[in-house]
Amino acid sequence: MKDFIAISDYAPKEVQELLDLALRLKKERLSGGNPPLLKGKVLAMVFQKPSLRTRVSFDMAMRHLGGDALYLSPQEIGLGKRESIADVARVLAGYVDAIMARVFDHQHVVELAQWSSIPVINGLSDYNHPCQGMADALTILEEFGSLKGLNVTFIGDGNNVAVSLMHACAKLGANFTLASPEGYDLNPAALKLGQQFAVESKSSITLLRDPHEAVQNAHVIYTDTWTSMGQEEEARARELAFPPYQVNVQLVSEADPKVIVMHCLPAHRGQEITDEVADGPHSRLFPQAHNRMHAQKAILAWLFGVR
């Protein structure tokens, strides 16, 4: 496991071991602090897109483990524009110990990994969001003790976050349902992979149009913004397509009584989710956000071989 590019790259046992490591590191942190497993290590954080959670959670994960993080803004790098991706990868590999990249085009992070001699972590791409997926799985695991047999429903766009959540669920035996408007379905290649993993774990993947049908017996309801960065030109069309997919009190009431509601944030309150749900008793939005840091600690420790 040189790099962390997609949850689909790893066996169910490896995904579970990463989650177990994240749980251990989180407990250590909350009970006094983590040992300096990454003392002397430096993570380069390459950003094409701005972020609150990705930047701060990776920076603090490195600090908690005794290492350091170096933020590189879009203007400083110009990945694939000012300088080729291959050259950026090889230059950084001589300066730092690992690279985290938050990019628009998934191929950019794939190329970084191909040319880099040090570990590369996918901090987000247009195809998937594996670090978010691991934090999501960690949050569900803490709540229910296992993902096996749970019903996880994603309401809205079949986007990069949905892809990683689907793959995590399928690897770990949870039943994944997506309710999306026509034209906003999952990436076909990602769906095919998820279906293969679901067969292996004896779980299911269900695609629906009706959000009310989708939340029946759901243990987890997950949603995301209607329009992500890079989709601004589609904003008007999305604002017309997605209102029936709002996660509100009525929709939540139709799920399992102990359902938890998740959102990767930032949330556009009053659009994909209401204040009453985001701040209500079923919400796990902020523990989920905090788990980004703990899941990423596990990924970092794993890649450096110090678990």
Residues involved in catalysis: 102, 129, 132, 224, 264, 292
Query: Which string of DSSP letters, residue by residue, matches 113-135?
Result: HHH-SS-EEEEE-SS--HHHHHH
